[in-house]
Structure 1
Amino acid sequence: MNIPTTHNTLMPCLTLDNAEAFEGFLQSVFGGDLHYKSLREDGKSIMHAEFRIDGQTIMYSQKSEQWPVRTGDFFIYVDNADQSFQKALNAGATVIMEPADQSYGRSGGIKDPFGNSWWITSL
């Protein structure tokens, strides 16, 4: 199998309301970087973008009449679940579950301002 070096075997592909702001959320909460972005003919809305966090790619685009919103649920390991959880709240997320010690690590859940759920976990 020949996969581009910036891609993974399996990647989420989201369609969001306010996809541009999603980039800022990802950057402020999880770090990483925008790898690729192309705009639609209007020169403003995202047709396709790819953001990388620790070698993993999330693809996303701006919703349109043809492409309705499609959100996702994510489980992500971070260095410090409590710090990343607080960064998510500071960036407009809401609490699903406060961070707590679990059998699999310290974990908490948030819903981001775009409708995606994130389970933020550290070991």
Structure 2
Amino acid sequence: MATANKPAGMRTVSPYFLVHDSEGFLGFMKEVFGATESGVYRNDEGQILHAELRLGDGSIMFGGATKDWPAETGGVFVFVENTDDIYNKAISRGSESRQAPENKDYGRAAGFRDPFGNTWWITQA
């Protein structure tokens, strides 16, 4: 598969969400996962149209849902440095537990549904 127009530093695959509360999602990603902004593009009213976040060596992109572009949720698996820390931050920010942290054969794992409807499966390998 040719990826000639892929920006430097971007992976071939990046999750993309459309969320009702783009400012809330931006804050959630920064606080819970320590994500950093690669680019946040806003309309004249200051609402997020499109945003790109760095998350470790990967990226997450999202935009604000509109009438023409309704919210779309998804599920993502993320390797993290500290499962318990990320899980607790997510729960304190209004996420719903899908699976409390526990040791598995493949690492310390947990899952939660964020306040925006997305499911996150995290593992400390």
Q: TM (normalized to structure 2)?
A: 0.91
Q: Which amino acid aligns with 1:100?
A: E
Query: 1:88 is matched with which residue: 87, 90, 105?
Result: 90
Matched, 1:15 2:18: yes
Aligned twin of 1:24: 27
CA contact (8 A) 1:78 1:120 kept: yes
Secondary structure of 2:111's counterpart equals: strand
Matches within 5 A, 1:27-106: 27-41=30-44, 43-106=45-108
Structure 1 residues 57-104: Cα deviation after superposition (integer angstroms, max 9, x where no partner): 111011001000111101111111011110111111110111111111
- TM-score, normalization: structure 1? 0.93
Gaps of 5+ in 2: none
Percent of residue pairs identical:
34
Amino acid at match of 2:13: L
Aligned-partner residue type, residue 4 of structure 1: P
The ranges of structure 1 where at least 4 consecutive aligned residues each deviate by more than 4 angstroms after the TM superposition are none
Partner amino acid, structure 1, of 2:82: N
2: distance between equivalents of 1:45 and 1:65?
14
Structure 1 unaligned blocks of 5 or more: none
- Residue identity in the other structure for 1:18: D
